[in-house]
Amino acid sequence: MVEKNAPAVRLGRGFWIVTAVLAILAIASIVFWYVAPIYRWMHLPVAIATAKQVDQLSRFMLATGSALYIFVVGYIVYFAIAFRVRKSDPPDAIGIQIHDNHKLEFWWTVIPAAFVVLLSVLSIKIWYEITLAPSNGLVVEAIGHKWYYTFRYPQVNGEITNAMHLPIGVPVTLNLTSADVIHSFWVPAMRLKNDMVPGLVTQIHFTPTRIGTYQIICTQFCGIDHSLMHQQRFVIDSQANYQKWYHAWQVKNAKVSNALPSTSGASVNLAAGDVAAGKALFAQKCTACHAMAPFTTVKYGPGLLDVLHDPTHPNLVNGQPANPADAAAILEKGYTGTMGSMPNAVTNGLSSQDIANLVAYLNSMK
């Protein structure tokens, strides 16, 4: 195959000089991303333990991404200049006719693939810390509303409507749910967010590590005033200040009665159940798995329309007769067995009053 105007395929000195320059720039960019106090420039302190790991992952990706980008763009610019058509070239001048280079193609497949493996391992490790690492501690609930958040605490009645306070150093499980549409709970200082989905309780776990006041921001469009849903604060207190704040709320809301259960549990007063409140709660926390429809309408669990009044299904999931007291027991303690499973009151964020309300609602449906 005779190729006109085609010099031998070899990389000139210019190529290696450019490669050396790009390598220096790439190393400089890697150093930059590891040294630069980027989050200080951005006024984003590290409020929880895992935020630091997210930052490390970010630095790793910014550094390697920048290095790659410098090489790609650097070569494009260099080739664009070095291989431009010149006035002295004949009009039918053609480039070097090469079609491929298996060695090169092998390496630029294998190196990115190896990088993908490395990035996966790093990400999964941090993902595990954020998502699955077990944490026993305080269970708090945040509820999204149009266009504010409310918070519920163990042994505190009522909902707290201004700032969310948490003590430093105590692991927290934060249950998230919504009273209306999908909201999101984002604290940039935590490098963490999760959606608040109506009908579903989701959880995030973290341990506060830095005393301070941080912004909570909604990042899912939730209606006309979504833009304003960033005004509430997340306060990390010292243990002593947190206790003070917490007791003040306990006193303030002493007359309201829907405190979250403490881990030791609380007695349920079924007679105090309120059907309307139970209905609202059902929509907020049960509908991800259960429909208010006949038993055979299965979503994840069965339909609960006539769960307490269905002669063909006289028993509950645990084999106990379907009566309000046993339903309340399942809501409180949860159930896991051959028939399926049901999360307990701590996971679902149900106070004893909530349980009474839900049972009253279920009992009213037939």
Residues of this chain, 246-285, that bind other proteins according to CB under 8 A: 283
CB of 231 to other proteins, least distance (A): 10
CB of 37 to other proteins, least distance (A): 13
Residue type present at position 271: A
CA 180, distance to chain mean position in Å, is: 19
Any contact of residue 85 with other proteins (CB under 8 A)?
yes
CB of 108 to other proteins, least distance (A): 5
Any contact of residue 218 with other proteins (CB under 8 A)?
yes
CB of 132 to other proteins, least distance (A): 6
- Shorter beta-carbon distance to other proteins: residue 131 or 336: 131
- CA dist 42 to 39, 49, 50, 227, Å? 5, 19, 18, 21
- Specify the stretch interacting with other proteins by CB under 8 A; choose among 52-60, 242-250, 319-327, 350-358: 52-60
- Of the candidates 239, 216, 238, the residue with the CA atom closest to the CA atom of residue 229: 216
Any contact of residue 219 with other proteins (CB under 8 A)?
yes
Q: Within a 10 A sphere around the Cβ of 79, how many other Cβ atoms?
A: 12
* Backbone dihedral region for residue 46 (phi beyond 0: left; psi -120 to 50: alpha; all else: beta): beta
Any contact of residue 347 with other proteins (CB under 8 A)?
no
- Shorter beta-carbon distance to other proteins: residue 154 or 198: 198
Any contact of residue 54 with other proteins (CB under 8 A)?
yes
Any contact of residue 193 with other proteins (CB under 8 A)?
yes
CB of 353 to other proteins, least distance (A): 21
Place of tokens 């790439």: 26
Distance of alpha carbon 219 from alpha carbon 217, whole angstroms = 6
CB of 163 to other proteins, least distance (A): 17
Any contact of residue 42 with other proteins (CB under 8 A)?
yes
Any contact of residue 120 with other proteins (CB under 8 A)?
yes
- Shorter beta-carbon distance to other proteins: residue 168 or 305: 305
- Shorter beta-carbon distance to other proteins: residue 24 or 85: 85
Place of tokens 């993902």: 127
Any contact of residue 213 with other proteins (CB under 8 A)?
no
Q: Tell me if 70 sits within 8 A of 235, measured CB to CB.
A: no
- Shorter beta-carbon distance to other proteins: residue 53 or 320: 53
Any contact of residue 202 with other proteins (CB under 8 A)?
yes
- Choice from 14, 16, 31, 109 touching other proteins (CB under 8 A): 109
- Choice from 21, 28, 113, 248 touching other proteins (CB under 8 A): 113
- CA dist 232 to 165, 214, 217, 250, Å? 11, 9, 8, 21
Strand ranges across the sheet with 172-178: 148-152, 138-145, 172-178, 202-206
Distance of alpha carbon 344 from alpha carbon 337, whole angstroms = 13
- CA dist 220 to 93, 147, 204, Å? 56, 11, 17
Q: How many CA atoms lie within 13 A of 349 on its CB side?
A: 28
Q: What residues from 283 to 302 belong to the interface with other proteins (CB under 8 A)?
A: 283, 287-288, 291-293, 297, 299
- Specify the stretch interacting with other proteins by CB under 8 A; choose among 123-131, 159-167, 239-247, 314-322: 123-131
Distance of alpha carbon 260 from alpha carbon 345, whole angstroms = 9
Residue 194 phi/psi, 5-degree rounding, is -155, 150
- Choice from 119, 275, 277, 365 touching other proteins (CB under 8 A): 119
- Choice from 14, 28, 225, 336 touching other proteins (CB under 8 A): 225
